[in-house]
Amino acid sequence: MNEMDEMDEMDEVIQEFIVESNENLDNLDNDLLALEEDPSNAEIMGSIFRTIHTIKGTCGFLGFGKLEKVSHVGENLLSKLREGELQLTKKRTTALLQMVDAIRQMLVCVEETKSDGEKEYLELIEILAALQIDDAEAEQGDTPPDAAPSVEAEFPEEEVKVKPIGEMLVSSGVATSAQVADAIKQQLDGNKAPVGEILVNQGVVDKGSVAKAVDKQSEAKSRAPAASAGSIRVDVNLLDQLMNLVGELVLIRNQVLQFGETFDSPVFSTTSQHLSQVTSELQEQVMQTRMQPIGGVWSKFPRVVRDLSQGCGKQVRLEMEGKETDLDKSLIEAIKDPLTHLVRNSVDHGIEMPEVRSANGKPAEGVITLRAYHEGGQVNIEICDDGAGIDPEKLKNKALEKGLISEDQAERMGEKEALNLIFKAGFSTAAAVTNISGRGVGMDVVKTNIENLGGVVDISSRLGEGTTMRIKIPLTLAIIPALTISCAGDRYAIPQINLMELLLLEGEDAKSGIENLHGVPVYRLRGKLLPLLYLNKELWNEEPAEDEEANNNINIVVLKAGELQFGLVVDEVNDTQEVVVKPLGKQLKGISSLAGATIMGDGHVAIILDVFGLADNAKLLSEATHQGEGVHGEQEVAEESEKVSLVLLRNPDGGRMTVPLSEVTRLEEIQRTSIERVGNEQVVRYRGQIMTLIDVFSLLPERRSPERITADAQKDAESVVAYQPAESSSVVQVVVCTKDGKAIGLVVDQVLDVAEEAVEISGESSRKGVSATAVIQDRVTEFLDVDEVIAMSKVKPDGQARRGDNNATMYI
């Protein structure tokens, strides 16, 4: 067992000791008083003795000397009382009670500082020792207990106990106990105001002294021992059951809400709204109980890093950010191993030897940073090192050597792709296989494990600067966002994390859009061939009816399983919703295409599909690994490396503009009616925050010549999409960008497409707000400079929004 574990275990022992002792001490108070009533009761006597004996023994073991001393003299006294050598007098009881209080105070101290404090309690020890002498002698003794300063007086009770306000007011002398009793009586009679307020209203005390008392009280509260009063231990199974019950409650709530819509009763609808609210809150809170900070897993890493770095002669410091980031208990367990592996890898492969670092002008000590934070309902975990980084060329050579890729593939491979080679099975980069890592098992396992949790892992690296592994996992496995679809009359849920986009082929497209590649159905998605799976065929082995298919629209759900993308043809796409994931019984565990089940709002069970399993069963995954061996594949991969994803936009004047997809957070349609005006800004409530809207095209200066405008208009008339002035529709199209953590909406006339294009910048900036121009899809397209547009929209000090020099009016 290593030192770190020992420390943790020690903490646990101490915590247990505190909780247990506090419980026992509470009983002890009562026992002592009961014993005073009935001094001959051997059973109570025995119980008291055992309690103190246990405390003494444990704190001796834990090394709390002072606590041990106090309990030791107490034990001696008790032992004599038990043997009948001494009688239990009032003085002895008082002294024993004082001892109980003293032990309590030391336990508080232990809990806060892990030591039993400075206080020696010498007087108390003296009193307890003196009381061990026979009664007759004690009476003559020169330390009458009354004269001894009481421990309670030295340690005002507020420090350990939270007193009620009334009691505090009485003790500070501003109110009498009769007045407080009267106030409490009023409360019992139904007055909901706190005691302090009632007293103020009656003119008994002034507000100031109540405020003072409340301050004191809250101070005491914060000091009250957390382990003993603020928390209790709960069986995890109980939490699981609670979670199930809440899930059930959510379903019933949904049914009630559905039912409530069918008849018109305001009372019922308010009640059901209330029910809905409470249920949601309950669900949230219960989920919260299962949350644990990730710091729990991380706590063993400093030791891992220390041992490893010493083992290989490196100097490594571990830094942690976001220890308190919560995630579901089940996930905490599940990510432990992958994380450990990644941290070990960082030490072993990432950080260089100190002399190498110094030679490269880096500090000899390397830094590994663990970072965790919540983002968009997911948890991000990053493992960064400031080491040598990974050389994609070396990776390629290694992979070539091992025969994992062909030479052609290696040549075509982009940097990103090359980095992802480390996730391939049977791949290891360490020159020598050490006992730490480098056996070529691991990274692929790490990736699989994380993907099994519904997460993704991503690697980025700069040569000479370091490597960052980024893991994204859902907050909880119990509830996930999912897309619900229908197929052959059944409903299914698909985890949102696998979802790329939705396609609807209508009319002519539905007939001719799906092509046949030697028996394999494919669809051309932005110039690339997307393999298609028919869900009904995959699950039920039923061929789609030929004629029926031709008449209807075709719904394709574009999914990704790791690197692979494929289209799933379904009958109907329904909506996205949060679903409670329930595991399948053991009868169904072996079916890899099914990830679980969930209960829909109407009480029906829907199956959650496993996208990886589906792809695997259809033999798509193995194809993906051989992808690029065919003639066409080669070209595609070669082109892909220089391609950029662009959002293509249309100006109200018909001109084309574009924003790189990397700068875009989302594309949204916003109801015109939901747009509000604050000062000169147009704002809209968006995902819990206020998003400023910027009308891009009215902001930009006019650029084109009149001839050009007519030419563009002609081109548009020829194009398939008929020109439709934005004013006429009830929604506006908004490109949402995130700047400094704030969402900013660029109002555009129309979002045309998201295209992957190999861009050749052909022109300089044509006007303010435009960074460059290029020919994309045979049209001159301006690259929108998002930062500049935002800067241009900034309201001037005089309150006038700065506009372009054209006279276009805001149309929203």
Partner 1 sequence: MQLCTFKLGDYFFGVNVEKVQEVIRHQEMTRIPLANKEVRGLINLRGQIVTAVDLRLLLGLTGFSSSDEPMNIIIQDEDGAVSFQVDEIGDVLEVEESSFEYPPETLKGIARELIQGAYKLTDRLLLVLDAEKAVAMTA
Q: Which residues here bind partner 1, judged by CB under 8 A?
A: 244-245, 247-248, 251, 490, 538-540, 582-589, 591, 593-594, 597, 599, 603-607
User: Is the CB of 240 or the CB of 716 nearer to partner 1?
Assistant: 240
User: Is the CB of 587 or the CB of 728 nearer to partner 1?
Assistant: 587
User: Is the CB of 436 or the CB of 584 nearer to partner 1?
Assistant: 584
| CA-based nearest residue to 94, from 57, 138, 64, 40 | 138
Give the separation between CA 180 and CA 193, rounded to whole angstroms. Answer: 13
Q: Side by side, which strands form the sheet with 572-580?
A: 572-580, 479-487, 490-495, 605-609, 594-599
User: Is the CB of 384 or the CB of 533 nearer to partner 1?
Assistant: 533
Report, in Å, the least distance between residue 255 CB and partner 1.
12
Report, in Å, the least distance between residue 377 CB and partner 1.
23
Q: How many CA atoms lie within 13 A of 637 on its CB side?
A: 22
Report, in Å, the least distance between residue 585 CB and partner 1.
4
The phi and psi torsions of 146 (rounded to 5 degrees) equal -60, -35
Report, in Å, the least distance between residue 600 CB and partner 1.
9
User: Is the CB of 592 or the CB of 777 nearer to partner 1?
Assistant: 592
452 dihedral zone (left: phi>0; alpha: psi -120 to 50; beta):
alpha
Q: Report the helix count and the strand count for the chain, using DSSP H and E.
A: 30, 30
Report, in Å, the least distance between residue 665 CB and partner 1.
36
Q: Show the tokens assigned to 238.
A: 């109980």
User: Is the CB of 223 or the CB of 537 nearer to partner 1?
Assistant: 537
Report, in Å, the least distance between residue 536 CB and partner 1.
9
User: Is the CB of 445 or the CB of 599 nearer to partner 1?
Assistant: 599
DSSP labels, 377-397:
TEEEEEEEE-S----HHHHHH
Report, in Å, the least distance between residue 248 CB and partner 1.
3
Element (H, E) at 596: strand 594-599
User: Is the CB of 193 or the CB of 245 nearer to partner 1?
Assistant: 245
Report, in Å, the least distance between residue 553 CB and partner 1.
23
Residue 40 three-state SS = coil
Q: Is the CB of residue 698 less than 8 Å from the CB of residue 810?
A: yes
User: Is the CB of 599 or the CB of 709 nearer to partner 1?
Assistant: 599
Residue bearing tokens 């800067």: 791
Residue 351 three-state SS = coil
Report, in Å, the least distance between residue 476 CB and partner 1.
17
Q: Is the CB of residue 145 less than 8 Å from the CB of residue 95?
A: yes
Contacts of 331 (CB under 8 A, 6+ apart): 379, 453, 473, 474, 475, 476, 477
Report, in Å, the least distance between residue 486 CB and partner 1.
12
Report, in Å, the least distance between residue 244 CB and partner 1.
6
Q: Is the CB of residue 260 less than 8 Å from the CB of residue 272?
A: yes
| CA angle 692–693–699, rounded 5-degree value | 125
254-283 exposure pattern, b = at least 16 Cβ within 10 A, e = fewer: beebeebeeeeeeeeeeebeebbeebeebb
User: Is the CB of 286 or the CB of 347 nearer to partner 1?
Assistant: 286
User: Is the CB of 259 or the CB of 540 nearer to partner 1?
Assistant: 540
Q: Is the CB of residue 743 less than 8 Å from the CB of residue 687?
A: yes
